[in-house]
Amino acid sequence: MLISDSIPLLWVAYILLSVIVLVTGYLGIRFVPRLPRLMITGIVAGTLWMPWRFSLPLMEEEGGTYQGIAPAIVVTTVDFLQGGLKAAPLVMVAIGALSGAMAGAAVWWFWPRQADGSSAGGSASNKPEGGVERQERREPVIG
């Protein structure tokens, strides 16, 4: 059951919170053009979601270790706070960031463009000499 096991519940909470972080981060940088915005969001998603294995010594007299899977950024942070810095989790964080950036670029590449073929900024040929783009007013039609 989901409530009785703390590890699956921890993963669900982590995924939900990371999705909230990604959505608010994406909406927070709306002033950035679409490609860099998607790549930044992809980098953050890659660093948050790249898994890595870890092992921690148990505090019992048996001298065993606990082994599990956690996000690589968490493993790297805990390893840094414990006084060491292993290269493998740090490399996985970098691989996650790179794959997230590539996923963001792929989303931008396959994102549907505007139907009329014009870019968001408009082209210079459509602007009159004053530099202000003018469009004909369309009257509302009933029925």
pTM, entire model: 0.70
pLDDT of residue 94: 93
Alpha-carbon torsion (24, 27, 29, 32), positive or negative: positive
Boundaries of every domain in the chain: 6-109
Over residues 38-71, the pLDDT tens digits come to: 999 999 999 999 998 888 777 776 778 888 888 8
Over residues 116-133, the pLDDT tens digits come to: 554 454 444 545 555 567
Whether residue 75 contacts residue 44, with contact meaning beta carbons closer than 8 Å, is answered with no
Query: What is the rounded end-to-end Cα distance, in angstroms, of the chain?
Result: 57
pLDDT of residue 121: 47
Beta-sheet strands, E only, within 3-64:
51-57
CB atoms within 10 A of CB 3: 7
Over residues 87-116, the pLDDT tens digits come to: 888 899 999 999 999 999 999 999 887 665
Whether residue 105 contacts residue 39, with contact meaning beta carbons closer than 8 Å, is answered with yes
| Best mean pLDDT range from 31-35, 51-55, 72-76, 83-87 | 31-35
